[in-house]
Amino acid sequence: MMRFLLLFSRQGKIRLQKWFLPLGEREKKKIIRDMTTMVLARKPRTCNFLHWKDLKIVYKRYASLYFCCGLEEEDNELLALEVLHRYVELLDKYFGNVCELDIIFNFEKAYFILDEFLMGGEVQETSKQSIAKSIEASDMLQETMEEYMSKPAF
Amino acid sequence: MRELMVRAMYCEMLGYEADFVYIHAIKLAQQGTVLEKRVGISIFLKQNMYYLQDLQSTNLIEVCMALTVVSQIFPKDMIPAILPLVEEKLSHPKEIIRRKAVLALYKFYLIAPNQVQHIHGKFRKALCDKDPGVMMSSLHIYLQMIKENPASYKDLTGSFVTILRQVVGGKLPLDFNYHSVPAPWLQIQLLRILSLLGREDQSMSELMYDVLDESLRRAEMNHNITYAILYECVKAIYTIHPKAELLEKAARCIGNFVLSPKINLKYLGLKALTYVVQHDANLALQHQMTIIECLDHSDLIIKRETLELLFRITNAQNVTIIVEKMLGFLRLCNDDYTIIDLVGKVAELAEKYPFTIWFIQTMNVVFSLGGDLMQPDLPSNFLRLFADGSESEEQDRQLKLYAVDSYLAVLKGDCSHLPQRFLQVISWVLGEYSCLKEDVDQQEVIRLLKKLLEQRGVSSETRSWALSALTKLCKGPGYAELALELAESLSSSLDTVLRQQAHELCLLSQDSQLHARVLPHPAPSDNLEVDSSLSFLDGFVSDALAAGAAPYKPPHQRQEELSQQRALSLEPYGLSLPVTMSSCTLTDRQSPTFLSMSSDLSVLCVCSANTLMLEGVKRVWGKDGYIPQKEPSLTPAAVDEPSDVVQSPDQQGAAETSLPEPEPEPPQLDQEKQQLASSLFVGLGSQNSMSLLGKTEVAVPRFRRKARQHESASTSGTSESSSNSSHSSRSTTDSFLYGGLLEEEPATPIQNSYHTLNSTSENEGAATVSAKEDKQANSSQILGKSIVSQRNCSKSLPVAFPHSSDSMVLQLPSELQELPHSDVVSLTSDPHLSVSCCRVFREDALLLVLLLFNPTETALRDVAVELSCEEPLMLNTEEYGKLWLSISNDVKQNLKLLTGGGDPLRATLNALKDSLQLHIVDIIGSEGIVACHLLRGGPCLMHCRVHGASLAVWLRSPLPSLPDCLLYHCQRALQEH
């Protein structure tokens, strides 16, 4: 089971965080700090797996963003790498050539996509199409409601 | 509002506290439109809030969102509330909802496995769902359950294999493909499940050989995801019962991994090798060159993995070189967690092959590198090994000499940067073995140790190690001066341990005989015997006691007394609000009997402890206006018995008001007080019955009436008032017992006094009469008798409900039938007699009707009915201790001690045992432990201690009201005695 997923920039600024187990604020901060220092210190062309305490850390860099997740002992690292990749693909499909700014400004969408994709630390839906479909559906509902609400009421 | 929420969320993401927004977020989510819901939810996604309403919604997206929230971090105690809703969603027509529901249940399973036990059948249904997505999510649950208990899911192996075969064969919709690999997540999940099921089970393994082979064959595309599958395949193949052909293929696969230029694959290859070499060490040989390459890899992670692999293949020949490599890595590494792990491994390896100089060297490096991070048992293990030595004396001696030499060399250099643990080890070894070395001057060793002692930055623990080493070395008169000097310098130390040791050093160095006896050389290897009971101090203790010292009280006793004092101070707060007080006293720790007493007593507490006076208390005081009367009578009592100060208030109240205590108290006052108590009780009593027994509607009016009756009784007749009021309070208690306990134990008779109903039935001529009539005749007879006996008993014992026994007609006597009554419950039966029971609620009493049925032809001659709610619980002291700790409901009380001859404690407990059917577990000195349990109910443990003239009783039971009841009956039993 995946324990957490972090997105941070090359400068170590956190862009998105998702915790699949309850943790205290202090622990979270410690994990974020450790992850950024550890991952950012890695040289290019080294392997994408790390150890941190009893967790396995899998990270991957896409452009200026680092995607980093913590796994339990028995999880498959390569698979986690593919999970990260699939998430990037989903973001890319939704935003169309996704970049860091998209995630900064539309972070709630990024969270929704993540919620559709992963649930409770496990992959819930692998199909790109169906995730896109459900996100689209909820967006649509939201927009019509928005229009409806913003219409002058007379 | 929405805007603000989004901003707050952003603030929080940046790491600022924004807790104050949460409540607004929830509000927003509850009232708003879908968009607002989304905003609100995303805020408290991180929080432990939940979303009950939306689960019932008809809107698909709302349900989806609610399930997403549910599967997030979710508080354990909320699960029962939401479980049925989620369960219901398992049969939702939309597959996405089903899928989410299954995942939410998976989450619940992880949090609280026992709460979802009942829906295992539904998991199976989910596994067979027509939508592959739902099936896939159910696999998560199965993986978890199989991990815990593989044996009970063996029957599913076949279906898992079929699923995997279909997946591998590409039978799933294209939606599930990932880079043209069919459903890789599903495959990996299945492979894991299969490897768990097939472990050490040949028949199961045989089922899966084919499909594993096929997976291996299919996964030959050059993509990460296929490698992930291959890796899982290899692991599965090596986990299940081995098959040569498959093993060969898997080994080839591993070879591909290890030789791959891609670093991630190399890493995984090494991991797989590490896993595999446990089964087959030869595989490592095939790849030795690659392993050597990896060892010098620039990436630390790869190196680390390689070392892990090497650690697994260590043997006596290669241990030296492997340990050397590991130490080399340790020097480079700066991650605490890795260091701790590796140090442990090196030490484990080194300890496998000790008694060489290499061992000492290695351990020295380990200590200096691992420092204070390492596991605390490492140094002591090392010292134990070192002290135990080997078989050969000479080798042993050389080893120790070498150690001493090396440590002296270490100490001569700069040792300020060395870890404390290392210094401690050094001090011990030098203290113990430096005398083995003749050519080194002892003075030199002492000088070095002294230097260590005085060095800055050395922890006091290390200091005390060094000092004890010095103590060992300083023998003979030559060192007296040095010892004196040390003792002087340390006598002002802040650390008491150091001071004590310095003092010991000083004394021991003066007396060489004593030194030899205390610290024999060589140190005896057998364990010292420790007298844990400290019996050698008994003389000292008795001397001190004789000199007037206070006896030692164990902590729990002190705590108990403290809490009793605390209980005393609790009362006035409760009194400021009479209604809440009455309910709270009942719910937490007081016997309901003393409700009336405790209230007026609490006023007394206020009088004596005026620091606790509160506004609310004053008001009550003024309103009732009886305090001036009470005060004079109660204060002298408190003065009379100073030991009573720690008594709990209600006990005092009991002593004052209802029990005919041998206290110097004029009977006139007592009566007045009774009157006051009962007048106060009227109000409280009705309030109580309202608050407590509101559930049983029948009960409420009964209580009221009862109370009023007694009010009138107590006001009209002064001579009878005392007995009456105690009567009323008691009958209420008994009814309370019913109200409280019968809800838990519907079939258990609660009264625990002992009644014998003797009835003789004369049916000599019964042969002609039909059996039924005969019994009915019996019934009326018995009934008539028992009513008489009930009258008797209500005279002697003021118990409010009579006992009727009745032959089995499975219906109540006609006179009782109109009254509200419960169902007839069968209690027990055997071929000769069956007993049923029924409760009848009469206006002034609760009747417990026992129906005895005799199916045989013989006549009932003698019916002895013995009702008891407790029965002795047979325990020994140890079990008692365990049980005691596991139970939480506490009640503490002081009881009267029986003083008639012999040991008062034993006499009292025996009296209780006889009348209440308790089991006396043990009596130790002035303390006794007693146990009993309710028929078909929880246990009640009682801990008694003689405390002055009274018996301090401490009861615990899992049932909240049981201690109160028991306590009440104890009191009554003692009173009667």
SS3 state of residue B613 = coil
- Percent of chain B predicted with pLDDT > 70: 55
Task: Kindly report the backbone phi and psi dihedral angles of residue B794, in degrees, each rounded to the nearest multiple of 5, phi listed first.
Answer: -70, -20
Q: Quick check: B918 pLDDT over 80?
A: no
- Residue written as tokens 């927003």? B28
User: What is the C-alpha separation between B725 and B654, in angstroms, rounded?
Assistant: 13
Q: How far is A152 from B12, CA to CA, in rounded Å?
A: 34
Per-residue tokens: B521: 């050389």
- Chain centre distance of CA B478: 58
Closest CA to B869 of B749, B951, B761, B768: B749
Mutate to test the interface with B, among A119, A136, A141, A145 (most CBs of B within 10 A): A119
3-state secondary structure of B595: helix
User: Is A150 an 8 Å CB contact of chain B?
Assistant: no
Fill in the amino acid letter for B946.
V
Q: Which residue has the higher pLDDT, B303 or B681?
A: B303
- pLDDT at position B741 over 70: no
What chain B residue is nearest to A86 in terms of C-alpha separation? Answer: B178
∠ at Cα B51 (B47, B56), nearest 5°?
165
For residue A20, the chain B residues in CB contact (below 8 A) are 73
**Is the bond preceding residue B522 a cis peptide, omega within 30 degrees?**
yes
Task: List beta partners, residue B919.
Answer: B931
- Give the residue from B847, B763, B769, B858 showing the smallest Cα distance to B813: B847
Contact B13 A17 (CB under 8 A): yes
How many Cβ atoms from other residues are within 10 Å of residue B384's Cβ? 12
Banded model confidence at residue B892, pLDDT cuts 50, 70, 90: confident
- pLDDT digit string (tens) for B842-888? 766 666 666 666 666 666 566 565 555 555 667 777 777 777 777 77
Query: Mapped to the 3 state alphabet, what secondary structure does B477-518 carry?
Result: HHHHHHHHHHHHHHHCCCCHHHHHHHHHHHHHHHCHHHHHHH
Q: What average pLDDT score do residues B957-967 get? A: 76
Phi and psi at residue B944, to the nearest 5°: -120, 145
Q: DSSP assignment of B880-943, as one string? A: HHHHHHH--EEEEEEEEPP-SSS-HHHHHHHHHHHHH--EEEEEETTEEEEEEEETTS-EEEEE
Of B679, B745, B794, residue with least CA distance to B965: B745
Which residues of B fall within a CB distance of 8 Å from A124?
Answer: 99-100, 103, 137
Is the separation of the CB atoms in B350 and B359 below 8 Å?
A: yes
Contacts with B224 from chain A: Cβ below 8 Å: 78, 81-82, 85
Q: Which two tokens stand for residue B711?
A: 């009010």
Q: What is the CATH number of the domain that holds A48?
A: 3.30.450.60
B970 neighbors B912 (Cβ within 8 angstroms): yes
Interface test with B, best of A15, A48, A56, A79 (most B CBs within 10 A): A79
pLDDT in tens, B796-855: 333 333 344 444 445 566 666 677 777 777 766 777 777 776 777 776 666 666 666 666
List, as ranges, residues 30-59 from A with C-beta within 8 Å of B: 43, 45-53
Confidence grade of residue B541 (pLDDT, cut at 50, 70, 90):
confident
Could you tell me the two tokens for B691? 């608050």
- Nearest beta carbon to residue B231 from set A76, A130, A141: A76
- Residues of chain A short of pLDDT 50, as ranges, are none
CB B19 within 8 A of CB B8: no
Q: Are strands A65-71 and B177-178 parallel, antiparallel or unpaired?
A: unpaired
Cβ contacts below 8 Å, chain A against chain B, sum to 133
Task: Output the pLDDT for position B611.
Answer: 38
A149 touches chain B (CB under 8 A): yes
pLDDT at position B470 is 76
Q: CA-based diameter of chain B, in Å?
A: 117
Q: Give the single-character DSSP code of A62.
A: E
pLDDT of B893 strictly over 70: yes
pLDDT at B478: 64
B268 → closest Cβ in A50, A77, A111: A77
CB B788 within 8 A of CB B890: no
Q: For residue A70, what pLDDT is reported?
A: 92
Looking at mean pLDDT, say which of A11-25, B690-704, B762-776 comes out highest.
A11-25
CA atoms of B134 and B113, how far apart (whole Å):
20
Q: Which chain A residues have a beta carbon less than 8 Å from that of B227?
A: 78
Alpha helix locations (H) across B576-666? Answer: 578-587, 595-608, 615-624, 627-640, 649-657
Q: Can you say whether the dihedral through the CA atoms of B68, B71, B72, B74 is positive or negative?
A: positive
- Closest-CA residue in chain A for B74? A22
Domain boundaries, position A10:
2-150
Distance of alpha carbon A144 from alpha carbon B304, whole angstroms = 56
Above 70 in pLDDT, residue B643?
no
Nearest CA in chain A to B187: A79
> Which among B15, B106, B267 has CB closest to A120?
B106
Question: How many CB atoms are located within 10 Å of the residue B671 CB?
Answer: 17
Measured between CA atoms, the residue of chain A closest to residue B302 is: A47
Report d(CA B899, CA B908) in Å as an integer. Answer: 8
Give chain B positions within 8 Å (CB) of A86. 178
Mean pLDDT of B200-221: 80
Q: What is the mean pLDDT of chain B?
A: 65
Q: Is B301 in contact with A46 (Cβ distance < 8 A)? A: yes
DSSP class of residue B240?
B
Whether the predicted pLDDT of B526 surpasses 70 = no
**Taking 50 as the threshold, does the pLDDT of residue B740 lie above it?**
no
Strand B950-957 versus strand B846-853 pairing type: unpaired
Dihedral sign computed on CA atoms, order B465, B470, B473, B475: negative
Give SS3 for B848. strand
Decide: pTM greater than 0.80: no
DSSP character string of B93-154: SSHHHHHHHHHHHHHHHHH-GGGGGGGHHHHHHHHT-SSHHHHHHHHHHHHHHHHH-GGGGG
Residue B529's pLDDT band (cuts 50, 70, 90): low
Strongest mean pLDDT among A19-28, B515-524, B527-536, B656-665? A19-28
Query: Closest residue of A to B62, CA-based?
Result: A138
ipTM summary value: 0.86
* Beta bridge partners of residue B953, listed in sequence order: B893, B944
Residue B709 confidence (pLDDT) above 50: no
- The pLDDT score that the predictor gives to residue A67 is 93
d(CA B729, CA B707): 9
Alpha-carbon distances of A31 from A26, A37, B9, B73, rounded to whole Å:
9, 10, 20, 18
Nearest CA in chain B to A115: B68
Is the C-alpha dihedral spanning B556, B559, B565, B570 positive or negative? negative
Of the listed ranges A56-65, B45-54, B474-483, B691-700, the least confidently predicted one is: B691-700
> What local confidence, expressed as pLDDT, does residue B546 receive?
78
Q: Give the 3-state DSSP-derived string for B527-579, with helices as H, strands as E and coil as C.
A: CCCCCCCCHHHHHHHHHHHHCCCCCCCCHHHHHHHHHHHHHHHHHHHHHCCHH
pLDDT for the residue A69 = 92
Rounded to the nearest angstrom, the minimum Cα separation between A89 and chain B is: 11
Q: Which of B137, B225, B264 sits opposite A49 (nearest CB)?
A: B264
Number of domains in chain A: 1
